[in-house]
Structure 1
Amino acid sequence: MDIEYAAFRRSTLTLDELGARHYDLFLSALNDSSRVRTLAGAVSANRKVWMVHEEYAYGADELPKEECVRAPQSVAPAESWMEVLAHVGGDGGLSDLSVAIDITGMMRPHIAMLPFALRRAGVGQVSIYYSDPNFYNSGERTVFTKGPVAGVGLIPGMEGTHTNRPSPSDALILGAGYDHALVKAVADDKPNAEHVILLGLPSLQPHMYQESVLKLENARQSIRHFRPATRVFAPANDPFATAQVISEKVVQLGDMDHVYLSATGPKPQVLGFAWYYWCEAAGGNTSFLYPFAERYDRDTTRGMADIHEYVLELDFVRSLERPTRP
């Protein structure tokens, strides 16, 4: 299916412009970043709900007084979304509601599953928000995970079909960010695949591209065929441009037995990986791979720069049936 990703709507807003928008439901992933709290306070909505990821390890006495729903870590992201959306939808469901979601503090596997989960819940269109930070707390030394990577695996429900050939030709398209341990874990998990590294350029802030490249050097020995030709670039805050770059790269790779996608960088790029997957690749020979960690830092940034809105038209989601293992 040929998709013109540039046609999807995106915009940059001020806090005042954001406050002029109104929704039936606003859902935001709770963390301690001031930009998450500020954006949630600015949105006008009939109902606001905090989505509480267990990876942030909030205790009951640390939760805000506003309505909260827990996103369980013990189940797959699809099942976690089912519980969250059942809570916020109630008996009436979500199909007739205007919905907005802030992904700034959201776990990446949940972002990967987001288009599928919303479409399955009956949502036709959703406004996704993300706020740029001014800078990361520790610059290029910023680490988002707390503790080691627990394991690398396919996100359940985003597994593609695999060939039985003894020497398959595979590719790994890996969106890289600051956390080189995540990049290394994914690259080490697929040592025989052709590695393509997607970097955010332009980055969220001018200094962030150089910082992310410095961190990527720490994972260089794990990246197969690391040379300039294996790098591709997409704006760090434009998921639709990211989806377009991935789509074009898959065509350039040619007849691969399997393509693995893995997004460890900025949240808008994770959304772009997911949007490509659900619009073009679901049900085929493409899988979504992720390095899972037990805990994440609640606040790794300072300040709030631009606010971005991405409008997902969920009729473009390719498959509502989960791919099955062969």
Structure 2
Amino acid sequence: MDYTIFYKDSYTNGDLTNSPEYDIFLSAFDNCNRTKEVFERVKSYQKQWFIFPQYKGIRQDELPLKDVYISEFLSESEYFENFILNFNANDYKTKKICIDITGFIRPHLIYLLKLLSHFGISQVDLLYTEPIHYKDADDTKFSGYIDEIHDVEGCSSINNNPNTDNDLLIICAGYDDNLIAKIAQSKGHCQKKYYILGFPSLQPDMYQESILKMENAKQSTGEFMKIRFAPAFDPFVTAQIIHEIVEENPKSTNIYLSPLSTKPQTVGVALFYIINYAKLPVSIVFPYSKTYTSKHAEGIKRTWKYTIEF
């Protein structure tokens, strides 16, 4: 399959004047202007904010007052439980859906996409707004203490191979070298390990910062990993690169994917899993934290639209 045939478009400075109209628009509140402005600009009959309890540093008076979905649960399945009931009751399967992935927590984004495919949604538009920069550059911390490492809910292998002699690990590597190192260590038995770096990056300096973080992770694990590249803003090329790596390693006993980079690359991981989980021994593994930083990005460069067909 050629994943690069999927459609994408972009809007400069978040100008969505020529964007389509939707029946329902979903977004995650992280208190960044890039998510709040897109929420206001998108044309949709119905809009809804997801408020994730993991985000810290958001005052009560900063939260949106209407069109919100709130749950106290941290796990993916428990968090979306009431959303699923409402989704089914309103027959959204026949509606035109758009999701702004910018503020989502990665496991919950992956779980939601898997959920939509399970419900028989044939197509969904995804938006992602590139920041001009992150506040703390290469010292940006997106998550707090890592509590545990395990598969994203709903994304474990259904073809798990008890033989682990030739397991394959593919990490989409981002800013946080601690996360990269923890995943590499937790899957230290894997015979083959690959980094996918975001290049071209969202901004020129971001590639250099990611390289720095990758080198820090390699020093802590003492391991050599093969490197591949995919644009940080392109989920479809990311999925294609994963496909090529898997094809290069046809004797892999189990395949582990770990999305630690941008949200578009996370979508690429999810897309590859959704299309291939029934026939490959593939899982998505993630380092979980109970806390995430809010308002860590500044400015709006451009907004991407990705059309996903399941």
TM range (shorter): over 0.9
CA contact (8 A) 1:195 1:224 kept: no
Name the counterpart of 1:70. Answer: 70
Name the counterpart of 2:121. Answer: 123
Query: 1:92-103 residue pairs with structure 2 within 5 A?
Result: 92-103=90-101
- The Cα of 1:184 is off from its aligned counterpart by 1.1
Unaligned segments of structure 1, at least 5 residues: 315-326
**TM-aligned CA distance change 1:249 to 1:307, over 3 Å:** same
Larger displacement relative to structure 2 (289-298 or 112-121): 112-121
1:45 aligns with 2:44: yes
**Helix, strand or coil at the partner of 2:34:** helix
**Matched residues in 2 for 1:108 and 1:224: separation?**
27
Given the two structures, how large is their TM-score scaled by the length of structure 2? 0.92
Deviations along 1:113-165, one digit per CA (max 9) or x if unpaired, are 233211233422111000000011011111111x3111111112211133333
Name the counterpart of 1:175. Answer: 172
CA contact (8 A) 2:258 2:284 kept: yes
- The Cα of 1:70 is off from its aligned counterpart by 2.1
Deviations along 1:272-307, one digit per CA (max 9) or x if unpaired, are 011011112345311110000010001111101110
- The Cα of 1:239 is off from its aligned counterpart by 0.2
Larger displacement relative to structure 2 (12-21 or 200-209): 12-21
Note the aligned Cα RMSD (angstroms). Answer: 1.9
**Matched residues in 2 for 1:68 and 1:51: separation?**
6
The amino acid that maps onto 2:248 is Q
**Helix, strand or coil at the partner of 2:98:** strand
**Matched residues in 1 for 2:72 and 2:277: separation?**
27
Equivalent residue pairs, number: 306
Q: 1:9 aligns with which of 7, 10, 16?
A: 7
Name the counterpart of 2:53. Answer: 54
CA contact (8 A) 1:78 1:117 kept: no
Name the counterpart of 1:198. Answer: 196
The amino acid that maps onto 1:70 is I
- The Cα of 1:6 is off from its aligned counterpart by 1.4
Larger displacement relative to structure 2 (232-241 or 15-24): 15-24
CA contact (8 A) 2:200 2:231 kept: yes
CA contact (8 A) 1:130 1:307 kept: yes
- The Cα of 1:241 is off from its aligned counterpart by 0.5
Name the counterpart of 1:284. Answer: 280
**Matched residues in 1 for 2:291 and 2:17: separation?**
31
- The Cα of 1:62 is off from its aligned counterpart by 4.3
**Matched residues in 1 for 2:17 and 2:89: separation?**
29
**TM-aligned CA distance change 1:285 to 1:122, over 3 Å:** closer
Name the counterpart of 2:309. Answer: 313
Q: 2:213 aligns with which of 212, 215, 219?
A: 215
**Helix, strand or coil at the partner of 1:174:** strand
The amino acid that maps onto 1:56 is Y
CA contact (8 A) 1:175 1:199 kept: yes
CA contact (8 A) 1:85 1:121 kept: no
Given the two structures, how large is their TM-score scaled by the length of structure 1? 0.88
Name the counterpart of 2:136. Answer: 138
CA contact (8 A) 1:55 1:73 kept: no
The amino acid that maps onto 2:30 is N
Query: 1:232-271 residue pairs with structure 2 within 5 A?
Result: 232-271=228-267
Q: 1:301 aligns with which of 286, 297, 310?
A: 297
**TM-aligned CA distance change 1:7 to 1:199, over 3 Å:** same
**Matched residues in 1 for 2:98 and 2:198: separation?**
25
The amino acid that maps onto 1:154 is D
**Matched residues in 2 for 1:209 and 1:54: separation?**
31
**Matched residues in 1 for 2:66 and 2:215: separation?**
43
**Matched residues in 1 for 2:259 and 2:222: separation?**
17
- The Cα of 1:81 is off from its aligned counterpart by 3.3
**Matched residues in 2 for 1:266 and 1:73: separation?**
24
